[in-house]
Every structure is written in C-alpha cells, then in structure tokens.
Amino acid sequence: MGNMGLKPEMRDGNTIRAYLDELVLLKTPIQLWLPQSDAQPFETTIAHISRDTFTTTQTPPLAVNQILNISFMVDSRRFIGPTQVVTTGVFKIPTTITQGERRERLRASFTQADGIEVFACEQVASPFLLGRVLTGRLLDLSLQGLRVTLDEVACLQEGDSALQRGDTFASLCISGLPFIPTIQCGAIVAHLRVPPAQPTAGFMLTGLLDLDRRNIERILARRFPTTFGQAFPKKNRKTDIADQSGTPMATKAAIKAPEVVVLPAAPPSTSRPPRPELSLVMRIKKATRKILVISAGTGGDGRTLADDLCDDEFKQVSQAKSYLEAQNLARSSSFDILLLDVKVGGHLGQMILEALQRNGLLLDIPVILIADKRDASIESVAEAIEAVYVHEKRAPYEDLLPAIYALLS
C-alpha cells in the first residue's frame, strides 16, 4: 500500500466529505487508531456528519485534540487520512488523504501491519481448551491453506509445545479480515520456518464450511472494478434522502384552518433509576481505580459495558476486543478490576486470560465474569478462573454495581 499520487481534487475537503456521506448511507465500518505502528485499530461506524466534524456510534475514551488515523473503503478502494478528537465520539473531518490503495490484482498476501489475527487450538472440550495453542498474524491465504507468523506457541498442559509437520489442530480461527466475520475450521501443519528468520507456519485447512469458503473467495476476488469513479464521488451529496437529485419538489399547499391536535402520552422514561448516595472516598475510587473490560460484544442498542461504566463516572475504564489489545493494555498499565466476557470474538475469554497470566500479566486481579446465561458450564469456567462474581448480560447494569463497589471498598 502506498501513496498513489492522487489528483488534487481527490484530496480536497469536499470530496472527502462526499466519501464520508457515502459511508453514512451504506453504514460502512471505519477504523480509527493511534499513529504509533503497534497501535491496534478499533472499528465503528459514522452516525452523523456536520460541517467540520463527524460523530461515531461508539468509541473508547480518547484525549481531546489527540491525532488519530482514519481508514475507510469506498467502491473497493481503501483510504487513510489523519483526524483529530474534538470530544468523546466526535472527530474532525480529514482534509487530506495520506495513503490510498487500489487492488487491481488478487489479494492473497498480507502483512503483520494488517493486524489479521489467527488463533489455533489443538483440542477443544467445551468450554475448555486442551493441548497446544498458538497465536499469530496472517501472511498468505488461499482456499487450501494459509501461512501465519508464530507469535506465541504454548502447551496448556505439561508437555512439549514444539510443532511438527502433520500436527492436527481441531480449531483455527481467522479474525480481522475486512468486512468478513471470524472464519473457523480445522487445520494441519504443512510446513514450518524456524529462527533465525521470522518463525512462520503453513496450515492446510480442513472442514471449511461453504459460507466460510465463499467469504475467502470474496477476500481473494479483485477489489477494483473497471467502473470505479464513473458515478462517484458526487459533490454536494447529502445524507438525507429528501435532498437527493430526482426527489419530487414540494408544492405550495393551500392554507388550512388550524386543527386541534391531541398530544400523545409521553413515552415512559428510559433514564436510569437513581443511584444510592456514595461517600467521598467511593467517588474518589471511581475516578482513580482502573477497570479493564475484555469483551467484543455490544448490547441491542450498540453500547458496550465499558460505555455504561464511563457514563456512570468510572473515569479509568479501558476496553480490549482481542487478545493482542488486552496484552498491549496490560503491558502498559496495571488494573484493579477485570471484567471478562465468556466469549471474546471467536475466542474463549478463559483462554485469553490464561495466556495473559502465563506471560505475567493480570495476575492477582479480581475477575468478574460476563456471561449470556448462568449454567453448569459457566460455573465451571468461573471456578477455573477464580471469578468473584458472575454477571448475566440480560440483567440490568445496576445489578453489577454492588459487586464492583465491594471490590473497590
């Protein structure tokens, strides 16, 4: 990927705004991340565009005036540009495009910077993982197999973690492919490349579902249609359908006598119930104690548990949606409470926590387990990770507060 020498008119603010208008109409996801090379992007969508700014549907806490990179795809063309944080969830519209990528050839090769994660487990006995596990980044992909970096290989029980050709893995997950859900299938080790070069492994895919096969074919297909640019961008494009060209013009209606309108009953209040009064010490702890939420899920309204905590005046809340994000956060800061989802993307939360603890991260920290429902399997997971409390997602947020307050006391 690189700067393609875009024409000046492809860089100006009006054209970029037209691109963002298109993203709003199509509800296309965008990615935002810090300019540092090792920063992990978070994905969201644009809800509204004003004259100079755009608002996203969800975002983690960010410092005001912080500079971020924004990446989006329009008509199979990927653009990257700088943006600035105005306030939580509000960003300035980019005025320049710094990088662009057109894919006129088949896309089968990736780089570690693409951030496409691969996780493989040798045995699965739900809800537990057994044998060897490995994590890495996708380098090459085809319908027959793939090649990945070996960032970490470990054995969950006593034994040798070394890989050999012909080793079989019951589950292999690929997450982070653009606009494609997590792909999961079996795999067999086909070849290995060991140090001093970058350790990599090739896997032959087995048990690939038809849906996953079609998704891989979409990834490998040509990304740049010959008709690109013939009808887009249209400057002055509006997000309101009434402003589109071809919409019938409103006609001036005759003046009518005023009508008596009966106002409907006010809808029930959706505000939260009043909170109990907190002591000054507890309010200080809410502002200073650090909470880590490891979860990729959102509620029916698109909000996350981290959003609820931030709205409830917990000031030090961080969210990780994958193992790598949790690893980066745990290495850069210490936390007082961990809220762990049973499933994080295509992975098990228990597996992520155990992998972090093997690396000396998140040790001796109280854990609250977040689950869809509470049954025998969830109880066994809670016992395995020594969770102090299990919170069901369908339960109101207020039911979680007593457990958090007890841990902060």
Query: Residue 19 sits in a domain of what CATH number?
Result: 2.30.110.10
Kindly report the CATH number assigned to the domain that includes residue 383: 3.40.50.2300
The domain in which residue 152 lies consists of 112-220
pLDDT at 58 (0 to 100): 84
- Asked whether the CA dihedral 326, 329, 331, 337 is positive or negative, the reply is negative
pLDDT in single tens digits along all 409 residues of the chain: 344 444 433 445 677 888 888 888 888 889 888 887 566 778 889 998 988 899 998 888 888 999 998 988 876 677 888 999 999 889 999 888 877 765 444 457 788 777 889 999 998 876 677 888 899 999 888 888 899 999 888 887 777 888 888 999 999 999 888 767 888 899 999 988 876 667 899 999 999 988 888 888 877 765 544 444 444 444 444 444 444 455 455 554 555 554 554 545 656 555 555 666 777 778 878 888 899 999 987 776 678 888 888 888 888 899 998 888 899 899 988 899 999 999 887 788 888 898 898 888 998 889 999 998 888 888 888 888 988 899 998 888 888 888 898 888 7
pLDDT at 231 (0 to 100): 43
pLDDT at 225 (0 to 100): 44
Secondary structure of residue 207 in the 3-state scheme: coil
pLDDT at 270 (0 to 100): 54
In a domain, 403, yes or no: yes
Q: What is the length of the chain?
A: 409
Secondary structure of residue 148 in the 3-state scheme: strand
What is the distance, to the nearest Å, from the Cα of residue 193 to the centroid of all Cα atoms in its chain?
30
In a domain, 255, yes or no: no
pLDDT at 346 (0 to 100): 76
In a domain, 345, yes or no: yes
Whether 85 and 146 map to the same domain: the answer is no
In three-state form (DSSP H/G/I as H, E/B as E, the rest C), the secondary structure along 307-340 is HHHHHCCCCEEEEECCHHHHHHHHHHCCCCEEEE
Cα separation, 258 vs 255, in Å, equals 9
Whether 122 and 95 map to the same domain: the answer is no
Whether 59 and 170 map to the same domain: the answer is no
Whether 89 and 117 map to the same domain: the answer is no
Enclosing H/E stretch for 276:
none
The single-letter code of the amino acid at 23 is: L
Whether 296 and 329 map to the same domain: the answer is yes
Whether 129 and 84 map to the same domain: the answer is no
Closest CA to 140 of 194, 220, 41: 220
pLDDT at 37 (0 to 100): 56
In a domain, 238, yes or no: no
Whether 117 and 193 map to the same domain: the answer is yes
* Contact between 222 and 236 (Cβ < 8 Å): no
Q: pTM for this one?
A: 0.38
Number of domains in the chain: 3
Whether 293 and 350 map to the same domain: the answer is yes
